[in-house]
């Protein structure tokens, strides 16, 4: 069976990075689900690439950029890792992404850009098997340590981001309350993965299907 592509999404400071790291630790060095023996974690934007360094400057308010241009840079940053993601999952390696194309669309739409225009830049990227959405409100994240350190960490803007996310939800999204303890959220994630795998192993699936593209095109 191929590896899984699993994405964590949500507002800033919602806890997705913590959960992505915990899930990687769970899969390494041996998977209790008996699918793979290792996993890779990617955090978007990946800030070590050329585009990532430019994005990092922008997020830390050290440079300026038009909304359209920064959206394209975020998307390009994800495209730089498309081949690696496909290579991983086709080799049986779980790939966990902390933020993905959905963040790019939600944050740009929150600025007032057309949501369909935002989607076009990521069409063709591998589609996650499951998108875990850590569900908290802007009031919840505003009370958390470190909130406000980066450009988009403003309560009013986070409210717009949450509303934009809601327009993207479909059957592949799994809602998880971000008000639970860290361990409770982790266990919730594992349970949802098990449910997904049981479904994939049952007729008419008979095993893991191939990776799909964003949005709804089979590779």
b/e per residue, 26-53, with b = 16+ CB within 10 A?
bbeeebeeebbebbbbbbbbbeeeebbe
Mean pLDDT of 11-33: 84
| Residue 118 predicted with pLDDT over 50 | yes
Mean pLDDT of 142-156: 76
Mean pLDDT of 99-125: 96
Query: Are 110 and 160 in contact, with CB atoms under 8 Å apart?
Result: yes
148 vs 154: which has the higher pLDDT: 154
* 39-43/94-98 β-pairing: parallel
34 vs 14: which has the higher pLDDT: 14
| Residue 140 predicted with pLDDT over 50 | yes
Amino acid 98: pLDDT: 97
Q: What percent of the chain has pLDDT over 90?
A: 66
Amino acid 120: pLDDT: 95
Amino acid 218: pLDDT: 42
**Global model pTM greater than 0.95:** no
Q: 208 to each of 69, 197, 204, 214, how far by Cα in Å?
A: 37, 8, 11, 18
52 vs 34: which has the higher pLDDT: 52
pLDDT, the chain, mean: 88
User: In the chain, where are the structural domains located?
Assistant: 5-218
Chain centre to alpha carbon of residue 162: 14
Q: Which residues pair with 8 in a beta bridge?
A: 98, 132
Q: What percent of the chain has pLDDT over 70?
A: 88
Amino acid 132: pLDDT: 98
Chain centre to alpha carbon of residue 138: 18
Amino acid 36: pLDDT: 47
Alpha helices in the chain (DSSP H): 16-27, 50-59, 67-79, 82-90, 101-110, 115-120, 138-142, 155-166, 182-201
Provide the CATH number for the domain formed by 5-218 in this structure: 3.40.50.300
Residue 14 CA to residue 4 CA, distance in Å, equals 23
Amino acid 204: pLDDT: 52
Amino acid 59: pLDDT: 87
Report the 10 Å Cβ neighbour count for 124.
14
């Amino acid at each position: 069976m191929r590896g899984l592509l699993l994405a964590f999404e949500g507002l800033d400071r919602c806890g997705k990075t913590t959960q992505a790291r915990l899930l990687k630790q769970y899969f390494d060095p041996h998977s209790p689900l008996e699918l793979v023996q290792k996993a890779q974690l990617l955090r978007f934007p990946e800030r070590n690439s050329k585009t990532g360094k430019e994005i990092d400057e922008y997020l830390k308010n050290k440079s300026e950029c038009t909304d359209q241009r920064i959206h394209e840079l975020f998307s390009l940053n994800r495209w730089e890792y498309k081949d690696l993601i496909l290579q991983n999952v086709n080799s049986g390696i779980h790939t966990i992404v902390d933020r993905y194309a959905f963040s790019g669309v939600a944050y740009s739409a929150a600025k007032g850009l057309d949501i369909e225009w935002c989607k076009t830049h990521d069409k063709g990227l591998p589609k996650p098997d499951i998108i875990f959405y850590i569900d908290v409100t802007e009031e919840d994240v505003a009370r958390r340590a470190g909130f406000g350190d980066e450009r988009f960490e403003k309560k009013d803007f986070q409210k717009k981001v949450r509303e934009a996310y809601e327009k993207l939800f479909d059957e592949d999204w799994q809602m998880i309350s971000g008000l639970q303890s860290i361990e409770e959220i982790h266990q919730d994630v594992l349970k949802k993965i098990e449910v997904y795998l049981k479904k994939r192993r049952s007729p008419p699936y008979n095993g893991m299907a191939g990776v799909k593209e964003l949005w709804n095109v089979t590779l």
